[in-house]
A and B are shown apart, each in its own frame.
Chain A
Amino acid sequence: AQTVTQSQPEMSVQEAETVTLSCTYDTSENNYYLFWYKQPPSRQMILVIRQEAYKQQNATENRFSVNFQKAAKSFSLKISDSQLGDTAMYFCAFMMLTRDDKIIFGKGTRLHILP
C-alpha cells in the first residue's frame, strides 16, 4: 500500500524567507503523480504544484518548486520569497493512475508566515 509521510507538523518562517517542506512516500509502482496542495483557513483545497514521476525535471510554478528524488522517494516543496498569503496547511499527496485514481494525502504541515 502507498503511504505519504510529512515529518514536519508545523513550521514558521519570516516573510520573504525561503522555506522547504518535506515529504517522503512509499510505493512499489513506477508511474504515478505527486502533488502539493494548499489548504488556507477557508479550507478550500488548492493545487500548488504537480509532478509526473516519469519526468526527471523538477516542476516549478512561480515561487513554488519541488525537489523530486525518485530513487529516495522524496518530494519536497520549496517556497521562495514567502508571503503572508502562503500561511496555510500544506498537504503532500500521491496518486497512481489506476481505475479509481485515488489520491493519498500526508498528514500535512501547518505553515505560518510571520510578518
Chain B
Amino acid sequence: GAVVSQHPSWVICKSGTSVKIECRSLDFQATTMFWYRQFPKQSLMLMATSNEGSKATYEQGVEKDKFLINHASLTLSTLTVTSAHPEDSSFYICSADEGTGGRETQYFGPGTRLLVL
C-alpha cells in the first residue's frame, strides 16, 4: 500500500525557535496533503489543506503566519512552526491522497511529536 513518511519523528526545541516537519509520499504522487494536530487523548484536528503549487488553505482559528505550509512538489509538503512556544507542543500528523481516482483514500504519516521547552 501507499506509504507516507514524516521527519523528524520527534523533536525537542527551545521556545522561540522554528521547527520544520517534512511529510513525504514515498510511492505515489500526492496532489493534496493535509496537516493535523492531535493533543493527548483527543481527536485529530485539521489544521490546513496543502495543494501542490498553490497556497495552503487553513482552517478557522489556525494562524497561517505561525504554521507555514509549503507543498513544493507532488511528494513533499512541509510544516514550519515559527517561533514555537510551549503551547505548540503537540503531535502533528500529515496525510496524503492520490488525487484523481484515489481521492477517497488518505494515507497517514506516522506523526511527529513536538515538545517546546
Contact = CB atoms under 8 A, between A and B. Distances in A.
The winner among B32, B97, B108, B110 for most chain A CB atoms within 10 A is B108
Contacts of A91: 43-44
A45 interface: yes
Interface stretch (B14-22, B70-78, B79-87, B99-107): B99-107
Contact of B104 (A37, A50, A104): A50
Contacts of A105: 43-44
Given A101-B32, A102-B49, A107-B43, A44 B104 contact: no
B43 A103 contact: no
Contact of A103 (B41, B46, B110, B111): B46
A97 interface: yes
Interface in A65-114: 91, 95, 97, 100-108, 110
B91 A103 contact: no
Contacts, number: 50
A100 B111 contact: no
A74 B91 CA distance: 29
Question: For this complex, into which size category does the number of interface residues on chain B fall?
Answer: 20 to 34
Interface string A9-47: 000000000000000000000000100010000111111
Nearest to B106: A103
A87 to B, nearest CB: 15
Nearest to B44: A105
Identify the interface centre among A45, A100, A103, A110: most chain B CB within 10 Å of its CB.
A45
Contacts of A50: 104-105
A106 B43 contact: yes
B42 A107 contact: yes
Please list the 6 inter-chain residue pairs (A to B) with the smallest Cβ-Cβ separation, ordered nearest first.
Answer: A45-B108, A105-B43, A100-B49, A107-B43, A105-B44, A33-B104
Interface of A: 33, 37, 42-47, 50, 52, 91, 95, 97, 100-108, 110
Given A52-B104, A101-B104, 5 more contacts: A43-B111, A100-B32, A102-B46, A103-B106, A107-B42
